[in-house]
Amino acid sequence: MVEARACFDANLYTAAAVMVRRTLEGMCIEQGTQKKALFQALQELRDNGKIEGRLFDWAQALRVLGNQGAHFSEESVSREDAADALSLAEALLNYIYVFTAKYEEFQNRRQVPAR
């Protein structure tokens, strides 16, 4: 996300979208997906219960925006779309890495020993 943010700050919105997509690929690999294609890797995360519903939809939208940036097109990525991509990617990463760990800690702490 550091490179995505740096691209955004330099007004390189298409590059920011591509870096967000790259971040999603890294997240999928770190989460142990077996699929190479990002579309399938995100589906695997959904199927394994690591992301659900709207988060999956967000991730797919970010993938599509990243594809738009990565492949030649007359349409460039707007500042607004790049800003949304950064925000949505950060929310997704927080869910995967921060909130999931917090919830597991909470559950473990609240677990009542069997009698």
Q: Say whether 11 sits in a helix, a strand or coil.
A: coil
Query: What ranges do the domains of the chain cover?
Result: 2-110
pLDDT tens for 8-43 read: 999 999 999 999 999 999 999 999 999 889 999 999
Contact status, residue 29 vs residue 81, Cβ threshold 8 Å = no
The position carrying tokens 């870096």 is 19
CATH entry 1.10.357 includes domain 2-110: no
What's the whole-number mean pLDDT along residues 81-92? 96
- Is the confidence at residue 113, as pLDDT, over 70? no
Tokens of 52: 């659900």
| Nearest-angstrom CA–CA distance, 2 and 57 | 23
